[in-house]
Amino acid sequence: MRPIRLLPLLALVLSGCVQVMVPPPPPPPAPDIAARARQAALNFDEVVRRVEPVAERVCREETPDQVCDFAIYVDRAPESGVNAFHTLDPQGRPAIIFTLGLIAVARNVDELAFIMGHEAGHHIGRHLPLGQRQAAEGARVFSDLARARGASQLEVDEAAQIGAFVASREFGQRAELEADALGTVIAERAGYDALIGAEFFTRIPDPAREFLSTHPPNAARIDVVRRTLLGLRGPDI
pLDDT in tens, 88-129: 988 889 999 999 999 999 999 999 999 999 999 999 999 999
* 179-228 pLDDT per residue, tens: 999 999 999 999 999 999 999 999 887 876 665 577 788 999 999 999 99
How large a percentage of the chain has pLDDT more than 90? 57
Which pLDDT does position 5 carry in this prediction? 46
Instruction: Verify that 145 and 218 share a domain, yes or no.
Output: yes
Q: Which domain holds residue 135?
A: 127-233
CA 151 to each of CA 157, 162, 180: distance values in angstroms, whole numbers, following the listed order: 10, 14, 41
Do 96 and 134 fall into the same domain? no
Pairing of strands 71-75, 94-99: parallel
The residues near 22 (Cβ < 8 Å, ≥ 6 apart) are 82, 102, 105, 200, 203, 204
In this structure, are 139 and 202 located in the same domain? yes
How confident is the model over 217-231, as pLDDT tens digits?
899 999 999 999 998
Q: What is the pLDDT of residue 101?
A: 92
Do 97 and 147 lie in one domain? The reply is: no
**CA 77/CA 97 separation, integer angstroms:** 12
Amino acid in the structure at residue 202 = T
Whether the per-residue pLDDT at 40 is higher than 70: the answer is yes
148 and 201 in a single domain? The answer is yes
pLDDT of res. 31: 53
Residue 17 maps to a domain: yes
Distances (CA, A) of 71 to 24, 49, 63, 105, 235: 26, 12, 17, 22, 35
Confirm whether 113 is domain-assigned. no
pLDDT at 197: 97
Nearest in space to 96 (alpha carbons), one of 150, 155, 54: 54
Q: Which of 110, 69, 62, 106 is nearest to 84 (CA)?
A: 106
Per-residue pLDDT for 151 more than 60? Answer: yes
